[in-house]
Amino acid sequence: MLMIRLRPGAPTLAGLLLVLSSLVQADAAPVPDAQPEPPVEGRYAIESLRVFVETLDRIRSHYVEARDDETLLEDAIEGMVQRLDPHSSYLTGDAYAALQEATEGVFGGIGVEILEEEGRLKVVAPIDGTPAARAGLRPGDWIEAVDGESTAVVGTEAALAQLRGAIGDPVTLTLRRGGEEAAFDVTLTRALIDIPSVNHRWLVPGLAYLRVVQFQTHTGEDLRGALATLREGGPLTGVVLDLRNNPGGVLQSGVAVADAFLDGGLIVETRGRGAGADERYEAQAGDLTGGAPVVVLINEGTASASEIVAGALQDHGRALVLGQRSFGKGSVQTLMPLSESRALKITTARYYTPSGRSIQAQGIVPDLAGQTMRAMAEGERAPREADLPGHLEAVESREAPRFPPFQDEDSLLVEAVRLLQAHQRLRGA
C-alpha cells in the first residue's frame, strides 16, 4: 500500500556513515572536567552506538563466513528501517527501480500490488487488465513461491524481482488462499504493464463511470482528460467514482483527483515531525463535474491516497460513499534518494481528512454498506492496515459528519430512510 510524497535532497549514505563515525569518535575524545555530562538520553544513544560498532567488529572477526563491511552495513540499515512500520523500507537496486517505475505506471511484470508481511508476500490487489487480474489473483492471496523457489528462502526482495522479467516469459506462482489448506500453482505470462490510471465510460446517458486504478504522477491530468471527454458526449447528471482495490500512490495525485470534484475547501492535512511534514492541501475553485451528484465506491482494498479522496468528498458532503470499510492506511511515506541506486522510503506524517479525522488503522466508513455477491457468498474479509504487524496505532480524531442513526425492527424501512438520507447528502442538505 503506497502513498508517496516525492522529495529530493536527502543526505547520502556516505554522509550518514560519516555522522555515525563522528559521533563515536567525539565521545571517545577526552572531555574537559568543566564540561557537563550529556543528557541521559544522549548517553544511552552513545552507548548503543558503541554496541553497534563492537557488534560489527565481532561479526567481521568471528562469524563463520566472511562478510564485507558494505554488506553488513547495508543489512543493518535495512533491518533498522524495517522495524519502523510496515510501509517504511530501504530500497536498493531493483527494488528502487521498481518503485520508480510503479509511480510512472509503466513496467514489465504481472501487474499486482504486493505487501510484505512477516517476511512473506501478500497480494493487496491485482491491477485491472493485467496478467494477474486475468489469472484470478485475489486480495489476501499469499505468494508462497515464485518459479518453485520459496519466498521465505530467497527473501522477499529477490522474490519481488522475480515477478518482473522479459515480456512474454512465463512465471509460476504458488499461492495459498484464505482458509484453504492446499497451495496451488498459477502460471502467468509477463507483459508490459502500462497501467491506465483512469478508465471511463458512460453507464447510461448522463451517468458516467470513472475508475481510478492507482495514483500515479499523471493521474490528476488523466482524470481531467476523462471528464473533458465525457462532457463532450453530453451533460453529466451523475458520476460513479470507483476506488475499489485502489492501493494508493502519489499523494499529490490524490489531491488532484479530489480537487476535480470540489469547488474549494480543505482536501487533506498532513502532520509529522520533520521539516515540511505539516502541510494543508486546498481545492481550487471550479468543480469539473458542474456539481453533478457523485457516488464513491470503496472496499477493503481502498487505501492511502484513495482514502484521502473518499474522505474529502465525504466530509464536504460532496459524495455518497458506498461499499465496505476501507483499508485504513492513514500515513504518508516520503521517498528520500540517498544515491543513484539507493533510497529511503519512510513514514513521515499522518494525514487527516477535512473534518480532522485520522483514518489510520480505522479506515473510511461508508455511508451505505454493501458487498459484492462473491464476498457475501464466501464470507471472506481482506486484510486491513490494523491487521499488519507493527502498524502505526490509531489516534483519537473527530468523527465523520453523519446523519442521526435510525433504528427500527422493519429492516426495509431502515433501508428506505438511509436512502433518503443519502439523497439529502447528495443535494448538500
Task: Name the active-site residue from 88, 259, 326, 329.
Answer: 329
Q: Catalogue the E-assigned strands of 110-245.
A: 112-117, 120-126, 142-146, 149-150, 170-176, 184-189, 191-194, 198-204, 207-212, 238-242
Q: Is there a catalytic annotation at residue 345?
A: no
Burial (CB < 10 A; 0-12, 13-18, 19+), residue 27, is middle
Q: How much is the CA Rg of the chain, to the nearest whole Å? A: 24
For 12, residues 6+ apart whose C-beta sits below 8 A from its C-beta are: 338, 339
CB 135 within 8 A of CB 111: no
Q: Give the three cell numbers for residue 252.
A: 499529490
Distances (CA, A) of 254 to 220, 249, 395: 7, 8, 22
* Phi (first) and psi of residue 268, to 5 degrees: -160, 150
User: In terms of residues, how long is the chain?
Assistant: 429
Q: Which residues contact residue 107 at a Cβ distance below 8 angstroms, ignoring those fewer than 6 apart?
A: 98, 101, 164, 192, 193
List 222, 242, 259, 315, catalytic entry: 315
Nearest CA-CA partner of 164 in 185, 204, 142, 192: 192
Catalytic residue status for 304 = yes
Q: Choosing from 304, 326, 331, 358, which is the catalytic residue?
A: 304
Helix, strand and coil percent figures for the chain, each rounded to 5: 35, 25, 40
DSSP H or E run through 270: strand 265-272
Residue 303 backbone phi and psi in degrees, to 5: -140, 155
Q: Which residues are catalytic?
A: 304, 315, 329
